[in-house]
Amino acid sequence: MSASVSDLSARPPVRILVYSDNVHTRERVRLALGERPHPRMPIIRYVEVATAPIVVRTLDAGEIDLAILDGEASPVGGMGMAKQLKDEITDCPPVLVLTGRADDAWLAKWSRAEAAVAQPVDPIELADAVIGLLRARLDH
């Protein structure tokens, strides 16, 4: 990140929802991002979710700054979930979809997700995408 990145580190923690039916996928996301992926960003608090109904309920309640959805989750994949959230949640936070492969980025675009990162997760790529999405949301 460039030196021109606004300093958001003093803000309250951001809440990132991580959806996957696979506990290891959720863990890989948390480990890749850590508590603060950039020194000028707020601390991250994770909300781990394993089922689609809880994703909808949690996002509908508010207080989530970013949703990371596993495109390979079962029985409801992250791309279908992203489309549903964008259609149904009035003030839906940004969504990042974890795709099964880089060639699936077009599906993430169809789902109206703001970003996509292919699995296995590259920590630098994931952090760059998350930082960009959070900066855009928090700078407003």
DSSP-assigned letters across all residues of 51-84: SHHHHHHHHHH---SEEEEETT-SSS-HHHHHHH
The structure tokens listed for 19 are: 């959806």
For position 2, what pLDDT does the model report?
43
| Mean pLDDT for back-to-back runs of 10 residues, the chain (140 residues) | 67 96 98 95 97 97 96 96 95 96 82 95 97 91
Is 84 within the bounds of a domain?
Answer: yes
Contact (CB, 8 A) for 119 and 100 = yes
Domain count, the chain: 1
Q: Is residue 2 part of a domain?
A: no
Inside any domain, residue 12 = no
DSSP state of 92: P
Between CA 56 and CA 3 the distance in angstroms is: 37
Assess if residue 56 is contained within a domain: yes
* pLDDT for the residue 139: 84
pLDDT of 58:
97
Of the candidates 96, 140, 134, the residue with the CA atom closest to the CA atom of residue 118 = 96
11 found inside a domain: no
Q: Is 10 helix (H, G, I), strand (E, B) or coil?
A: coil
Report yes or no on 45 lying in a domain.
yes
Specify if 10 maps to a domain. Answer: no
Reported pTM: 0.93
> Does residue 13 belong to any structural domain of this protein?
no
Domain ranges, residue 42: 18-138
* CATH number of domain containing 64: 3.40.50.2300
For the chain, the 3-state helix, strand and coil shares in percent, each to the nearest 5, are: 40, 20, 40
